[in-house]
Amino acid sequence: MVTMEDVARLAGVSKMTVSNVVNNRAGVSEPVRRRVLEAIRRSGYRVNVSARTLKSGRTGVIGLAVPDVEAAYFGHLASHVIAEARRRGFHVAIEESGANAGGEADAVTRSRTLQFDGLILSAVALDRLEEPADAHYPLVMLGEQDFGGRFDHVAMPNEEGTHAATAHLADQGCRRIAIVTGGSLEGVNMVSRRYRGYRAALAERGLDADPPLLFVLDDMSMEAGRAAADRLADSGLGVDGVVAVTDTVALGLLRGLADRGLRVPGDVRVAGFDDVPPAAYAVPSLTTVAPDHRWMAAKAVELVVRRIAAPLRPTGRYVAPFQLVVRESSAAG
Amino acid sequence: MVTMEDVARLAGVSKMTVSNVVNNRAGVSEPVRRRVLEAIRRSGYRVNVSARTLKSGRTGVIGLAVPDVEAAYFGHLASHVIAEARRRGFHVAIEESGANAGGEADAVTRSRTLQFDGLILSAVALDRLEEPADAHYPLVMLGEQDFGGRFDHVAMPNEEGTHAATAHLADQGCRRIAIVTGGSLEGVNMVSRRYRGYRAALAERGLDADPPLLFVLDDMSMEAGRAAADRLADSGLGVDGVVAVTDTVALGLLRGLADRGLRVPGDVRVAGFDDVPPAAYAVPSLTTVAPDHRWMAAKAVELVVRRIAAPLRPTGRYVAPFQLVVRESSAAG
DNA sequence: CACGGGAAGTTTATCGGTAAAACGCGGAGC
DNA sequence: GCTCCGCGTTTTACCGATAAACTTCCCGTG
C-alpha cells in the first residue's frame, strides 16, 4: 500500500504538505502543489480512510437502516437518499434491520460501531432506545415510528393519506368501504395512524365503519393481500371499496379479487398507499397515496447532516407532502 | 469516547489484555476475562473500528455494488447476500453504481477508498477495468458481465434461461415468437446472451426468427415494456408468443397488451426473466425464468471471502441453477 | 534440585493520517 | 541595520487498536 510518506518522498516534501494538498488546504505554493499532485498520480496513492477517521473522528458515511431491502417502497427512498447525501459529500451505507425491534436496535449499535457519522433509521417496530449512550447520536427517524420527539422525525402522511384515499372512494360512490391492514392497531404506529385517517373520513361522511369492515392480516405481504380477497368475498358485507394499508397488500388484493371473479373497479374499488412502481402498471392500475419520497429523502439527509454538525439542537417533526394518484382501480362506475 | 485504555484501567489490567478479551483470543484466565467484560459493560466501551482497521488492514465489510437499488430483482439478491455475509462474520455495505460504466468503475474505486475488504460487483455496462492497481483487489462479478475470466464470476443462466422459456412457449403452441429486449446486442453481455438462447431454441424447432421478431427497446423499464406492446400490436407480424428480457419489461408489456385489448394468454403468451415478487401476483400471473438467487448470493459471498483470504488463487465461473416457473401468462390455449 | 516449557500478562513498536506548534526566510518599516 | 511579520513548509505529538516480542510465574520431570 502506498502511503503519504511515499508520496512525500517522491515529491521531495513532507507528508504534512501532501496532506494539505490532498485536502485542498490553503498555504501550498502552486509549483509544490503540482509536484505533489503529479507524485500522487504516478504512485497511485489513495488516502487511508481509517487513519483519517482515527484522527478526525469522522467517516463521512451516513447509515440508512431499512426494515427489509426487498420491500418495494424502500428502493425509491434509498436511491434519493444516496443522491442527496452525495451532493453533500457523504457516502451512504445501507443496512437491513429486519422488521423487528431487536434488529432495529442492533442497527443503531452497528451504525455506531461502524462509526457512521449519523443514521437514518426507518423503523417499524422499535419504539424506544435502551442505551442512554445513544441519546445524542445523530439519528433521524424516517417513516413510521417516532420516539416521542427525542429524535428528528420525517413522517409519512399516514392519517392524511388514508383520509384522502377513503374520501376519494366515497366520492366515487362507495358506501361500504373496508380497510385491509396488517400488524397491530395498538399504540401509535403506522397502522393505527392509517386506520385513524380512514375512520375520520368515514365519520365525516356519516358512513359505516363497523368493526367487520376492518380486516387485519398477519403481515403486510402480497400473499396476505391475496388471502384478504377471500375474506372480503366471503364476508357477505357488501364491500364496494377497499383501502389497503400498502401498495404491496393492494397488489396482492387485486390478484386475489381477480381469482374470485370480482371486477375492479366494477364490483369493488381499491386504493393503496406508497405508489410503488408496479402500481402504475398493474392491471387494473392502482389508485394510491403517493408520498413525496424525494422530499422525504432530502429532508432526512438534511436533518442528519445538520445534526452531525450540531448534535444538541432541538428536534423537529416533518410530515411529507403527498398526492392522491387516481388510476383505474377507483374509476367511477 | 471511552477507549481500551480506560477499560484497562478500570479492570486493572493492560489494554492488550482487554484487546484479547474483546477478540476472544486465548490466554486470558476466567476471572480476568470476567473482570474485563464487567468493565466493558460498565463503561459502555465499543471498539474503534478505524483504529483496528488501521492496524490490521481489515474492515470486515464487503461491498455490494448494484446498478440501481430500485431495480426489483436486486432486493432479493441483496437480502441473501447480507444474510450469508453475516453468517461468515462480515458486514455488507450496499452501493449504487448507476447502470453505466463510469459509475461502475467508480464503485470499485469507492470500495477501495472505503476500504471494503472485497467487492461483489453486479455490473451491467463495465467490461474492463482501467486501473492495473485493481487487478488483485478481491472482486467478484455477479450477474452479467465477466471480465474475460480476470475475476471470479457468478453468472445468470442467460442463454439457458431464455432457451427454456422460448422452448416452453413453442411447446404451448406458439409459432411466431418475438423477443423484446433493451440495450445492445453487440459484444458479449446479458442481452446478447439471452438473445442467443432464444435463437437457439427457435432454430432447434425450425421456427422463424426473422429480424422483425426482434424488438429492441431504449431501456429495460416498465414503461419501455408497455410501449413495446404497441409496436407488437401494430407490427402485423402475427406474434403469438413473447419472450421478455426481464420481468420488469414483461410486466410493462402485460399492461400495454391489456391497453391494446390483446388477451394473455389467449392471443399472446408471455414469458419473463428473474421471477421478481410481483410476477406471481400480476394479472395474469407471469411465467418466468427463476434463477436461484439464494444460490447466487451464497456463491458470491463464498468466493469473495475466499479471495480475501487468498487473493491469488485462480478464478472461476459459476452459472446459477434456475427453474422455469410456469404461470397463467403462458397457459395452453 | 536444576531446568525446560507453557500459560497469563505486559511492553514495545507501529499502522497512516492530521491539528497545532515551530521554523526559516525574504521583505516592509523605522 | 535591526526588528517584526507572514507565508510556505516542516516537526511534533497524538488518535486507538494490535502483532510480536518479552517477562513472570508455576509445574512437571529427570
Domain boundaries, chain B: 4-47, 59-156+293-322, 158-290+324-330
CA distance A209 to A243: 12
Nearest to A115 among B49, B79, B222 (CB): B49
Q: What is the percentage of chain A residues whose pLDDT exceeds 70?
A: 97
The answer to whether the CB of A111 falls within 8 A of the CB of A140 is: no
Residue B187 has pLDDT above 90, yes or no: no
What value, to the nearest 5°, has the Cα angle with vertex B94 and ends B61 and B84? Answer: 60
Residue B278 has pLDDT above 70, yes or no: yes
Residue B50 has pLDDT above 90, yes or no: yes
Q: What is the pLDDT of residue A130?
A: 64
Residues of A in contact with B1 (CB under 8 A): 57
Q: What is the pLDDT of residue B148?
A: 72
The phi and psi torsions of A33 (rounded to 5 degrees) equal -55, -45
The phi and psi torsions of A96 (rounded to 5 degrees) equal -100, 135
Taking alpha carbons only, the member of A288, A272, A275 closest to residue A326 is A288
What value, to the nearest 5°, has the Cα angle with vertex A274 and ends A269 and A278? Answer: 75
What value, to the nearest 5°, has the Cα angle with vertex B133 and ends B184 and B119? Answer: 60
Which residues, including other chains, have CB under 8 Å from residue B204's CB and lie 6 or more apart? Answer: B167
Shortest-distance nucleotide from A57 CA to C1': D15
- Summarize pLDDT for A165-219 with one digit per residue, the tens: 999 999 999 999 999 998 777 777 788 999 999 999 999 999 877 778 999 999 8
The alpha carbon of residue B102 and the mean position of all alpha carbons in its chain are separated, in whole angstroms, by: 19
Task: Report the half-sphere exposure of A62 (CA within 13 A, side-chain side).
Answer: 32
Nearest to A251 among B75, B115, B278 (CB): B278
Chain A interface, mutation test: which of B55, B68, B69, B111, most A Cβ atoms within 10 Å? B69
- Summarize pLDDT for A272-291 with one digit per residue, the tens: 999 988 899 999 999 999 99
Taking alpha carbons only, the member of B106, B107, B103, B72 closest to residue B93 is B107
Between residues B211 and B82, which one has the greater pLDDT?
B82
Chain A interface, mutation test: which of B281, B285, B328, most A Cβ atoms within 10 Å? B281
The sign of the CA dihedral B56, B59, B65, B68 is negative
CA distance B273 to B290: 7
Q: Which architecture, in CATH terms, is A59-156+293-321?
A: 3-Layer(aba) Sandwich (3.40)
Task: Say yes or no for a CB contact (<8 Å) between A283 and B283.
Answer: yes
- Name B residues 34-63 whose Cβ lies under 7 Å from strand C: 51, 54-55
Kindly indicate the confidence band of residue B84, based on its pLDDT and cuts at 50, 70 and 90: very high
| B:139-198 residues touching chain A, CB 8 A cutoff | none
Q: Name the amino acid, one letter, at A194.
A: R
| B:11-70 residues touching chain A, CB 8 A cutoff | 44, 46-51, 53-54, 57, 59, 61, 68-70
Residue whose cell numbers read 480506560: B6
Residue B209 has pLDDT above 90, yes or no: no
Kindly indicate the confidence band of residue B123, based on its pLDDT and cuts at 50, 70 and 90: confident
Q: What is the pLDDT of residue B277?
A: 84
Residues of B in contact with A75 (CB under 8 A): 68-72, 74-75
Q: What is the pLDDT of residue A333?
A: 64
> Given phi > 0 = left and psi -120 to 50 = alpha, else beta, which region is B121?
beta
Residue A249 has pLDDT above 90, yes or no: yes
What value, to the nearest 5°, has the Cα angle with vertex A129 and ends A124 and A130? Answer: 140
CA distance B277 to B66: 18
- Name A residues 14-33 whose Cβ lies under 7 Å from strand D: 14-17, 20, 26-29, 31-32
- Rounded average pLDDT over B210-223: 88
Q: What is the pLDDT of residue A288?
A: 98
The answer to whether the CB of A184 falls within 8 A of the CB of A145 is: no
Residues of B in contact with A112 (CB under 8 A): 46
Residue B135 has pLDDT above 90, yes or no: no
Kindly indicate the confidence band of residue B333, based on its pLDDT and cuts at 50, 70 and 90: low
- What superfamily does domain B59-156+293-322 belong to in CATH? Response regulator (3.40.50.2300)
How many angstroms is C1' of C20 away from CA of A25? 15
Q: What is the pLDDT of residue A94?
A: 87
- Summarize pLDDT for A253-279 with one digit per residue, the tens: 999 999 999 999 999 999 999 998 889
Residue nearest to nucleotide D7 (CA to C1'): A27
The answer to whether the CB of A249 falls within 8 A of the CB of A222 is: yes
- Name B residues 2-31 whose Cβ lies under 7 Å from strand C: 13-17, 20, 26-29, 31
Secondary structure letter of residue A288 according to DSSP: E
Establish whether domains A59-156+293-321 and A158-290+324-330 are of one fold: yes
Fold of B158-290+324-330: Rossmann fold (3.40.50)
What value, to the nearest 5°, has the Cα angle with vertex B223 and ends B221 and B227? Answer: 120
Q: Name the amino acid, one letter, at A217.
A: L
The answer to whether the CB of A196 falls within 8 A of the CB of A189 is: no
CA distance A84 to A88: 7
Q: What is the pLDDT of residue B202?
A: 95
Kindly indicate the confidence band of residue B131, based on its pLDDT and cuts at 50, 70 and 90: low
Q: What is the pLDDT of residue B5?
A: 95
Q: Which residue of A has its CA nearest to B259?
A: A283
Residue B67 has pLDDT above 90, yes or no: no
- Rounded average pLDDT over B120-146: 78
Q: Which range, of A35-44, A180-189, B162-171, B323-332, averages the lowest pLDDT?
A: A180-189
CA distance B65 to B54: 24
Shortest-distance nucleotide from B17 CA to C1': C9
Residues of A in contact with B226 (CB under 8 A): 281
The answer to whether the CB of A252 falls within 8 A of the CB of A221 is: yes
Secondary structure letter of residue A267 according to DSSP: T
Q: Could you tell me where the DSSP H helices lie in B206-276? A: 222-234, 247-259
What value, to the nearest 5°, has the Cα angle with vertex A157 and ends A155 and A162? Answer: 145
Cell output for A184: 397491530
Q: What is the pLDDT of residue A255?
A: 96
The answer to whether the CB of A65 falls within 8 A of the CB of A119 is: yes
Residue A147 has pLDDT above 80, yes or no: no
- Rounded average pLDDT over A79-102: 88
Residue B57 has pLDDT above 80, yes or no: yes
Q: What is the pLDDT of residue B152?
A: 94
- Rounded average pLDDT over A66-71: 80
The phi and psi torsions of B249 (rounded to 5 degrees) equal -60, -40
B80: contact with A, CB 8 A cutoff: no
How many angstroms is C1' of C10 away from CA of B11? 14
- What superfamily does domain B4-47 belong to in CATH? lambda repressor-like DNA-binding domains (1.10.260.40)
A29–chain B nearest CA distance, Å: 27
Kindly indicate the confidence band of residue A133, based on its pLDDT and cuts at 50, 70 and 90: low
